[in-house]
Every structure is written in structure tokens, then in C-alpha cells.
Homo-oligomer: A and B are copies of this chain.
Amino acid sequence: MKLAFLGLGVMGYPMAGHLARAGHDVTVYNRTASKAEAWCGEHGGVRRDTPAEAAGGADIAFMCVGNDDDVREVAEGPHGALEGLKPGAILVDHTTSSAGLARELEQRATARGLRFLDAPVSGGQAGAVNGRLTVMVGGDDASFRTVEPAMRHYGQAVTLMGPVGSGQLTKMVNQIILAGTLQGLAEGLNFAVRAGLDGNQVAEVLSKGAAQSWQLENRARTMIEGKFDFGFAVDWMRKDLAIGLEEARRNGSPLPVAALVDQLYQRIQARGGSRWDTSSLIQLLAAP
């Protein structure tokens, strides 16, 4: 099966690498050509100058770019992937973008005799490098079964969530839950330290009970240390929360805490923390 991978950022680069290492014939495209050259040097694939050319002979074209505008440019712009794909081929979008854009791309793909799946991932750069991402897919069952084996090379959990858009909606749920979880953890740990407790001991004890979370187990120590130069960046979280808040406006879901936490992340950006991990919420609570 011939594959294309469009977008070799911190996520796409290692994801495409897993496909090549599994023996797939992968043609790549990246806006900054030097990165695509580096990828080909490492993995031995072929590089093309436009998404259309890269997607040309592919049975499946994966894309993983920044935001809705990037997706539009790479998928449906001039020399975009939809222009190049052959009839029956599948375009898969791994970008976290809006459910509305996913549905729009499905319509355009169908009009050209192509198929489309939205498939945002979670697990961050580490998950992409280790091949342990969670992949949340929206689309039809037959297309899902065609792409699933390839996705397994970088996804430890690959699940069809419903029709096109459902992958994006599931990812929004993930980020909404994270917002409350992280702020609760930040308030609790900051309180612990101000109360004179040993924050790490508190985290250890509470991880055995009802306050346990992945964030408590993986972020408490660095939150207490004030170490945030790693992980999932505040800029990306705000992009994702904006998508979720907009969708919630449409479907009528109240998100009082997610909206508040989005505002708190704006304060972190203003303090120069755009690239800090999302656990940096505790910084706003600490004494100045």
C-alpha cells in the first residue's frame, strides 16, 4: 500500500517515521522543505514540493498540520491533497481541528470520488515518538478498517467514534476534561505547599484514592518544582479549547470551568508562557 504523509512537525515527523520503519512506501510533503529532506535522509522516503504531488500515487494520505487554516491550505488549496489523490483514495486528517471543517472536507472528498476520515490524536510528542498515541477517528466503517492497520504503527488505541467529525468531538471532550482536572490539581497542590505540607508526599498519598489522575501521577512533581519547559504547550491547548468552546456554543453545552481555564491560559501567555506545559496553571496561583 502506497502512503503519503503531509506535515512533518513534532507529531507528523515521528508518526511518518513509524510508517516507513514498518516497511511502507511513504512519500512526504512539508511546508518547510528542509525538514522533509531531513526526514528522507533518515527514513529513505521520497519528498514532493506540493501536497498534490505527494498524495499523487497514494492509497492513503495522512496529514498532520497546525490549525484549521493549515488544513484548508494543505487539503483543498491550489496543489492541495484533494487535487492529487486518485479515485477511491482516503485522506486522513490527524490535525486537531473543528468538526465543521471535517464535515466540509468529507463533502469535498466525496464530490471527487475520494474518502475522508478525521483522526486527531492525543499522547503528545512522547506518544508520537514511542508509537503510543490514542487515535480518535470519525468516518465510515470500511474506510476505518482500511486505514486502521497503518495507524496501529503509532497508535496504541485506535477507535472509530462515529461519523466524520466524531474524532474531533472526542478530542474536544479530552481537552475539556483536562482543563478542569489541571486547574483542580493546581489549586490543590498550591494549597498544599502554602499550608506547609510536603507536596510530593501529598501527591503520593492522594494518588491512591478518588483524587487520582494521570495528571496527578505525571505532573505533580514538576508543578511543585515550577518546571514547565516540556510537554503540551499552552498555545496548543488554547487553540484546542477555542475549538471546543465554539462547538459548545453551537450544541448548547455549558462549560463554565473550561471557559475560565481558557482565560487563565491567556494570562499565562501574557506572562511569556506560550510554550509552557498546560500544568503551568499553578504558576498563576503561586505567590508572586
- A contact residues vs B (CB 8 Å cutoff): 99, 122-124, 134, 136, 156-157, 159, 161-162, 166, 169-170, 172-174, 176-192, 194-198, 201-202, 205-206, 208-216, 218, 232, 244, 247-248, 251-258, 260-261, 284-285, 287
Contacts and interface: CB of A to CB of B under 8 A. Distances in A.
A250 to B, nearest CB: 9
Contacts of A159: 201, 205
A178 B173 contact: no
Contact of A156 (B166, B176, B208): B208
A198 to B, nearest CB: 7
A191 B157 contact: no
A252 B187 CA distance: 11
Given A159-B201, A192-B170, A180 B177 contact: no
Oligomer copy total: 2
Nearest to A215: B210
A136 B209 CA distance: 12
B212 A188 contact: no
A212 B213 contact: yes
Contacts of A194: 251-253
Given A197-B166, A257-B183, A260-B260, A173 B189 contact: yes
A177 B169 contact: no
A136 B205 CA distance: 8
A176 B183 CA distance: 10
Nearest to A213: B213
Given A122-B211, A170-B197, A177-B213, 13 more contacts: A134-B208, A157-B209, A169-B195, A172-B191, A173-B195, A176-B188, A177-B185, A177-B211, A181-B184, A187-B254, A194-B252, A210-B214, A256-B260
